[in-house]
Amino acid sequence: MNDKPIVLAYSGGLDTSVLLKRFLLDGYDVIALTADLGESDAIAGGGAAAALHAVKAKALALGARDAVLVDAKARFIDDFAQKALHANALYEGVYPLSAALSRPLIAHLLVETAHAKGATVVAHGCTGKGNDQVRIELGVRALDPQLVCRAPLREQPLSRPDAIAFAKEHGVPIAHTQDKPYSIDANLWGRSIEAGVLEDPWNAPPEDAYAWTAPPAARPAQPDEVVIEFEHGVPQWNRLDGWEMVAQLNVLAGKHGIGRIDLVEDRVIGMKSREVYECPASTVLIAAHKALERLVLTRDELRFKALCDQRYSELIYDGLWMSPLRGALDAFNASLADRMIGKVRLSLNQGVATVTGTQSPFGLYSEALATYGKGDAFDHDAAEGFIKLHGLPTELVARVTAPPPFDKAQDSGASHLRQEVTT
Ligand code: ARG
């Protein structure tokens, strides 16, 4: 009779099914935890719920004491992806951090389930050379340092043939595992595809790696236009917001092949890996959010925020979602979001989301200042004095380092400089 409760993050795949069985054999009382992050809703809607209920049923059939299925779609988008959107978070400039954002949420769910079920041990199926072990375990430790977090696939790496052999011996069903060409992770913010032929970075990603984005030949010739409305930095489209908007936008942008990313990236543990992504909705939303920022924020805010945004994406990638720095950067982004109200129009076509218009009551763009036509309100005289003072430090250096011909020139042309230096 097993009496040590353990909460296992359970996907229903071969590895976590083998782990579930091994924990049972080790005398654990297994509570399987499965999170619905919109992996299937992202594209099709129907069928997702049924598939996840099958995962839950599989855990129970394997002998789990309990199987918990949590619908975390709204929480994922509202509390995690939305914050990343405020930060235009793109790791190494291109990856919207879909998998990375989900891991701290899974850590929350593991800890909450452990507390609810009276367990002091939690476990996950991440390997020892990936990023996800770091993200989940740092999350669990930040939320409840008393909990023990087990990582059996790191403690004792399991080869695929060994996993299959164990599964056969212990009655773990092996579903469609004949030739699993890739390792896939998906949620509403994007789909990650790794391993198989992609391990050689010279190999172009085959079409069969993609599931959410149409291949070039199947994309519509005509663009679709979308208008994203932002209310304090929170997007709305088609009268939808939150996870349902993201799900529908994945379908529309995916139809145009938008959001394909191929990245040789730097993992937390130091090695490089090659991952292919398809992130239709997040690509469109980040492009729209950036465009509105360009209209609304001052030059100084934009320059400083770009540094913060890069740091923010590194924190997410590196598993430091729970760090106080992330909270502080959220507060900075939230204060700028006060003015992030407006509309962005984009054209979706042939793999590209192009911003074609921006509008905001807080926009800093002034046609009267910018125009080269009639009604120019810009003070041209002010520019002359500005140039003299703006360039003064550079000019001072030139004075003391310039070769002789320049010295002679100072006697005539640079006379203003002498006056400004002596007065
Ligand atoms: N490389 C991405 C990250 O670390 C995705 C990880 C999961 N990918 C996968 N195909 N299983 O955030």
Q: What is the DSSP string of 290-345?
A: HHHHHHHS-HHHHHHHHHHHHHHHHHHHTT-TTSHHHHHHHHHHHHHHTT--EEEE
Beta bridge partners of 365: none
* Cross-strand pairs, 228: 344
Q: C-alpha distances in angstroms, 354 versus 64, 88, 225, 244?
A: 49, 16, 10, 23
Residue carrying structure tokens 């993609």: 210
What is the number of the ligand 1 atom nearest to the C-alpha of 192?
10
According to the model, what pLDDT value does residue 105 have?
A: 98
Residue with tokens 């925020």: 305
Only one residue has tokens 């379908």, namely 251
Question: Do residues 402 and 394 make contact, with C-beta atoms less than 8 angstroms apart?
Answer: no
| 331 Cα to the center of ligand 1, angstroms | 28
Mean pLDDT of 222-229: 98
Q: Which residues lie below 8 Å from residue 335, measured CB to CB, with a gap of 6+?
A: none
The catalytically annotated residue of 11, 15, 294, 347 is: 15
- Mutate which of 94, 95, 101, 131 to test ligand 1's pocket (most atoms within 8 Å of Cβ)? 131
Q: Tell me the β-bridge partners of 29.
A: 5
d(Cα 23, Cα 322) in Å, to the nearest integer? 29
Q: Whose CA is nearest to atom 4 of ligand 1?
A: 131
Query: Which candidate in 36, 132, 185, 318 is catalytic?
Result: 132
What percent of the chain clears pLDDT 90, i.e. is strictly above it?
87
Ligand 1 and 194: CB distance under 6 A: yes
Please say if 309 is a catalytic residue: no
Q: Is the pTM of this model over 0.85?
A: yes
- Mutating to test ligand 1, I would choose from 185, 197, 263, 277 the residue with most ligand atoms within 8 A of its C-beta, which is 185
Tell me whether residue 15 is one of the annotated catalytic residues: yes
Backbone angles phi, psi at 107, to 5 degrees: -60, -45
Please give the number of the atom of ligand 1 that sits closest to the Cα of 132. 4
For the stretch 378-401, pLDDT in tens is: 999 999 999 999 999 999 999 999
Mutate to test the pocket of ligand 1, among 194, 198, 272, 282 (most ligand atoms within 8 A of CB): 194
CB 138 less than 6 A from any atom of ligand 1: no
Residue whose CA is at the smallest distance from ligand 1 atom 12: 100
**pLDDT tens digits for 285-340?**
999 999 999 999 999 999 999 999 999 999 999 999 999 999 999 999 999 999 99
276-296: pLDDT as tens digits? 999 999 999 999 999 999 999
User: What does the DSSP assignment read for 387-420?
Assistant: HHHHTHHHHHHHHHHS-HHHHHHHHHTTHHHHHH
Cα separation, 329 vs 309, whole angstroms: 9
Confirm whether 183 is a catalytic residue. Answer: yes
Query: Ligand 1: distance of its center to the CA of 11 in Å?
Result: 15
Show the domains of the chain with their CATH numbers: 5-36+38-71+98-178 (3.40.50.620), 190-359 (3.90.1260.10), 372-422 (no CATH)
Q: Which 3 state secondary structure label does DSSP give 359?
A: strand
